[in-house]
A = this chain, B = another copy of it.
Amino acid sequence: MKATGIVVEYNPFHNGHLYHLNQSRSKTNSDVIVAVMSGNFLQRGEPALVDKWARAKMAVSAGVDLVIELPYAFATAQASDFAKGAILLLDSLKCEFFCFGSEEGSLDSFHHTYDLLSTNKADYNTAISTLMKQGISYPRALNEAYKMISSDSTVPLVDLSKPNNILGYHYIEAAYQLNASIKPETIHRVIANYHDDAEASQTIASATGIRKVLFGEMDLTSIQSYLPNTSITELHAWHSAFNAFGSWESFWISLRYIILRHTKEQLANYAEVTEGMENAIWDAAMKCNSFQSFMQQIKSKRFTWTRIQRMLTHIYIGFTWNELKQMDLPTYIRPLAMSRNGQAYLNSLKKDLQLPLISRVAAHKENEMLMLDLKAANLYYLGLQSTFAQKMIGSDYRNAPIIL
């Protein structure tokens, strides 16, 4: 069986994801689609709308064959570590290709860009740190440095100011650096910019646009043309049970509590909290009565909104710089959900897997990376602040992969 891997968050699974899924299958002519998916906290540094089990179910209902959890330590990391964790897992799962959407749409440009940047690595890094010392954010510094390095290139290069191109570049870089057997493929991303409203197109809207509706009028009929029915059903069932979708707004009192339970100095121990951000975070938590006003207070030219949210995620979970340093690569494969086809594929691999396959966690309680995922699951449910969510505490220890 031939498998292709994709890297996803599905927050929630919508028609744009369906397009990417179907294109990935047809373009690589694969029998199996394996998705590595973030758990309950996402790369943008925020809690997912619904938990990983509900999102994995949406994925398999829509045609993904196998959903594997990207451990917390990678799912909430900066792009290069996020990519490294995801590509390692897809490579471990013997996927022949990984296939990503990009604004660029051409693989050659990605390879040229990788060659250029790895050849000029020292100059590139010096330029980035010089620019950052001038107080501009990491992504902007990256982009400026890249312009300087690439100005007299004669081959086509990727535009690294586009979000999906950046991620794609990191996947390819990770595959090179891991010396992986897996090969890249890309699909041209044409519609639904990240911040489009739900109205932007007839059948495809961005996840951001869809979330806006879910947190606003919560009128599922107004977005039903943008999501498979299976996603609508899952979202509806979730909201009936939990009476809330995950967001920093619902987590706010707990986040504020945990910030103010620390001194500023203690906050600086958490992953990604740096350059005095501990002071800004603590001071704003003293003053602000909503997450929105809190973020307005601490936003900064030096750090992207996403990066700041990742700091908050790590504070909320209690994930320290020390732990971050110890977690270099994923140490296990944890399937969340699969189709019969995905199950057959996984069975065919079992003997050859280099990483332990975890379907029940009880036997793996010494694995700190896994325990972190389970902790993140518990703290996610508590953040929802609903009575029903409390009943989910501990469920991640007991859950077996969903087979649909």
Contacts and interface: CB of A to CB of B under 8 A. Distances in A.
Interface of A: 253-254, 256-258, 260-263, 285-287, 289, 317-318, 371, 375, 378-379, 382-383, 385, 387, 390-391, 393-394
A261 B394 contact: no
Contact of A257 (B371, B379, B391, B394): B379
Contacts of A263: 371
Contacts of A257: 254, 257-258, 379, 382-383
Q: Max chain B CB contacts within 10 Å: which of A317, A379, A391? A: A379
A378 B258 CA distance: 11
B393 A261 contact: no
A301 to B, nearest CB: 26
24 contacts: A253-B254, A253-B385, A253-B390, A256-B382, A256-B390, A257-B257, A257-B258, A257-B379, A257-B383, A258-B258, A258-B261, A260-B375, A260-B378, A261-B317, A261-B318, A261-B375, A261-B379, A262-B318, A285-B393, A286-B393, A287-B393, A287-B394, A289-B387, A289-B390
- The A interface is mostly helix, strand or loop, or mixed, namely helix
Contacts of A379: 257, 260-261
Nearest to A378: B260
Nearest to A260: B378
A394 B288 CA distance: 10
Contact of A393 (B256, B317, B387, B393): B256
Nearest to A385: B253
A20 B256 CA distance: 40
A257 B286 CA distance: 20
A382 B285 CA distance: 11
Contacts of A258: 257-258, 261
